[in-house]
Amino acid sequence: MRRASLTCGYLLKIHEIYARHLMKNMTNTMLLLYVLFAFPLANASCDEGTVIASGKTGYPPISWRTPKGLGGLGYSVIEKILPNQSVERSTPLPWRRVLKMAEQGDIDIIVGIRETEERRKYLTFLPTPLMDVSQNIFYLRGSGIRSRNDLKGKAGGYISGTVFDPYFEEFAKNNLRLEGVSSLEQNLKKLARGRIQYLLSPLLPTIHYIKE
């Protein structure tokens, strides 16, 4: 990693792709390890039984799709916290469906989810996160992107269902052309093929897929 003397953060060079932190105070997102329902667990008591856990299919190291189903650090920690219960992982599902099933009571625990006012209506968020993360801008060499204003007029990508902080949501609504897809891999392919000029994505999962 090389530090850059830029007010908006650091610059990473990864295989021809650069990642820049969004402008200071723009989006400094905290990723919570997992959340529990405000009402009793759908499939078990607090001391015994089976709980259903789920998360994103492309969010390493917290939650991602493996040949055997969902895997990641988030699920390992849940199993340590709930040693007397059987933690069953759902089949890999689209993120929007995970949220809907949680709202309906068919999923008990979600790993790697950001707290929002809307989600607090049906989820209880634990105060201690596994790690803090922030959304980053990834773009190809020579794109001319140096600040958030350079994003205007360019096609950008993000994962459908991603929630940004209110400040960036307002900026994006008024200034950006964002195209949602179901996975980070899709966005990286679109970026490489020139179908989008940048993508908004968390740092660690994106580095993971770039290195693969």
User: Per residue in 154-210, pLDDT tens?
Assistant: 999 998 888 888 888 899 999 999 999 988 889 999 999 999 999 999 888 888 888
DSSP secondary structure string for all residues of 54-71? E--SEETTTEEEETTEEE
Starting at the edge strand found earlier in the chain, the sheet holding 198-202 runs: 2-6, 9-14, 17-21, 135-140, 198-202, 155-159, 177-181
Length of the chain: 212
pLDDT digits (tens, 9 = 90+) for 73-125: 889 988 988 888 899 999 999 888 999 999 999 999 998 888 888 998 998 88
**Model confidence at 32, in pLDDT bands (50, 70, 90)?**
very low
Starting at the edge strand found earlier in the chain, the sheet holding 69-71 runs: 58-59, 63-66, 69-71
Most trustworthy range by pLDDT among 8-17, 122-131, 134-143, 148-157: 148-157
**Model confidence at 46, in pLDDT bands (50, 70, 90)?**
low
The SS3 assignment for 167 reads: helix
For the chain, state the CA radius of gyration: 18
Say which range, 3-7, 29-33, 54-58, 146-150, has the weakest mean pLDDT.
3-7
Q: Report yes or no: 17 and 138 within 8 Å, Cβ to Cβ.
A: yes
Cα 188 from Cα 192, distance rounded (Å): 6
End-to-end CA distance of the chain: 18
Cα 77 from Cα 187, distance rounded (Å): 29
* Range 30-47 average pLDDT: 42
Contacts of 175 (CB under 8 A, 6+ apart): 151, 152
H runs (alpha helix) in the chain: 73-81, 95-104, 166-175, 184-192, 203-211
Asked if residue 31 has pLDDT above 50, the reply is no
Structure tokens at 200: 């908004």
